[in-house]
Chain A
Amino acid sequence: MASSTQPARNGAPSVGDPSAGALLSAADVARMVDRMAHQLIERAAADAPDDDPTGLSGLVLVGIPTRGAPLARRLAARIEAFSGVAVDVGTVDITLYRDDLRRRGVRALEPTVLPDGGIDDRLVVLVDDVLYSGRSVRAALDALRDLGRPRAVQLAVLVDRGHRELPIRADLVGKNLPTARSQKVSVRLEEIDGVDEVLVTDGGVQ
């Protein structure tokens, strides 16, 4: 991966005190999304091939359902607002690639939709709401492998709460939220939950 390989550990907006279990507000979320959009534009430009000076035509934002999907669409909308270039968006359902079926049981499938051009030889940025164990991302990488052969794959998440179980890290993070394993992090988005906010609650069994 070219460009900045350092996750935005210290670059997130400073908002409130997450360890108190408090929330990020709708305004916080909007700021985080804007910031990530800018960073994506920078990354794409830094890595742009000759025939695509902004690098944005080669970019595909692929959301991981449920909340990664609207997040990817928002990022695309903000990128277009900032750069004037419409970027491709898709979703990839990872349910059939999960490794915890026996433990967690079946769940309803979500759509997998790729842009007409597919993902071959493009820069795919996986988008999810929370990065936790990394298992969802691994499943998404497996799914992408069956869907095509991207030039590169990067990962953007709104919240990184730590406690990785796999050697996976995000290229772009909206906000690092140090949490205890016993805590529950909930990202709620307007499109699905009717409100934008991030909650950290204690004692919930994940």
Chain B
Amino acid sequence: MKRHLLEAADLDRDDATLVLDTAAQIDQALAGREVKKLPTLRGRTVVNLFYEDSTRTRISFELAAKRLSADVINFSAKGSSVSKGESLKDTALTLEAMGADAVVVRHWASGAPHRLAHWVRGSVVNAGDGTHEHPTQALLDAYTIRQRLGRLEGVRVAVVGDVLHSRVARSNVGLLHTLGAEVTLVAPPTLLPVGVGSWPAEVSYDLDAVLPKVDVVMMLRVQAERMNASFFPSAREYSRRYGLDARRMGALHDDAIVMHPGPMNRGMEIAAEVADSARSTIVEQVANGVSTRMAVLYLLLGGSPQ
């Protein structure tokens, strides 16, 4: 493992598999226990540095760190004077002085975790940067797929929605490819980046044509405000062409699963009856997020490999 987890490309196939296996062992070790706490990272300090609101991601990392007995500091820079310019470096130096062993960073700017990694000695874990990557989300998604389908090699995954602005999509394309899955991106052309052709993924504009061929449908959150920038004409049209409703879900084969990184726009990209169906892994994804992040923290902080 590298010292930092900044993007999916930091994990080769062996590393990624090690994270998933470790998460599975942690899940197993904690299953049914009253005391869901391990002493592993006692005396280590994990800082959650959040420049952007994301309660669910912060809580997930916080729980993961606490279950490993690390000391956790939550540092929310959102809305304070600390959200501009060189303050990232100042903040980094402050965290350094406090002896942070790991900094979990969420930032609105793509690449901010990469910059941070230059300035701190501890490990940096990217908890989502701008429209770049969100590698632990991809890990928990891969973990969830493997848990449900028993494998990743050869699994066909459709990633549907606002790929252009999605860090979840970027990390998933990279990691799933590393792990041998086959990804198809489905979106209106306006929500695919110029240059998507260089990604290890197929591209389709037609959700109905893709659904019968996949094992996993991963729906991305689509923000209605994209409508105002003419990425699509209206929420209704988007939903009609790219939303996953009960009728479309019927086109999936029997074992196929439906995923969503949350938070969902019910009725926009995903219908309530789909989100609440037996195919949906949305609640599992949340639970798996904690064990996957425990595995990441353990592997990054446990010490350098023998």
Q: Are A146 and B37 in contact (CB under 8 A)?
A: yes
Would you call A147 an interface residue if the criterion is a C-beta within 8 Å of the partner chain's C-beta atoms? yes
Give 15 new A-B contacts, CB below 8 A, not counting A101-B303, A108-B18: A96-B40, A96-B298, A101-B40, A102-B303, A105-B302, A105-B303, A105-B305, A106-B298, A108-B22, A109-B21, A109-B29, A113-B28, A142-B39, A146-B35, A146-B38
Interface residues of B in 65-82 (CB under 8 A from A): 68
For this complex, 20 residue pairs linking A to B, each with C-beta atoms less than 8 Å apart, are A93-B25, A96-B26, A96-B39, A96-B40, A96-B68, A97-B39, A101-B303, A102-B303, A103-B303, A105-B306, A106-B1, A106-B302, A107-B305, A109-B21, A109-B25, A109-B29, A111-B25, A112-B25, A112-B29, A147-B33
List 4 tightest A-B contacts by C-beta distance, closest first: A106-B302, A109-B25, A105-B303, A112-B29
* Given A105-B303, A106-B303, CB of A146 within 8 Å of CB of B33: yes
Interface of B is mostly: loop
Is B18's CB under 8 angstroms from A96's CB?
no
Residues of B within 8 A of A191 (CB): none
Q: How many of A's residues come within 8 Å of B, CB to CB?
A: 20
Residues on B close to A: CB < 8 A?
1, 18, 21-22, 25-26, 28-29, 33, 35, 37-40, 68, 298-299, 302-306
| Smallest beta-carbon distance B174→chain A, Å | 23
- Inter-chain CA distance A102–B41, complex, in Å, is 10
Nearest-neighbor residue (CB-CB) of A102 within chain B = B303
Give A108 to B1 CA distance when docked, in angstroms: 12
A100 nearest in chain B by CB position: B303
- Tell me which residues across on chain A come within 8 A of B26, comparing CB atoms: 96, 109
Does B38 lie within 8 Å of A96, measured CB to CB? yes
Instruction: Report the minimal beta-carbon distance from A102 to chain B, rounded to whole angstroms.
Output: 5
Contacts of A121 in B (CB 8 A): none
Q: Which residue of A lies closest to B303 (CB)?
A: A105
Task: Kindly state the separation between the CA atoms of A200 and B40 in the bound complex, as whole angstroms.
Answer: 32
CB distance from B121 to the nearest CB of A (A): 14
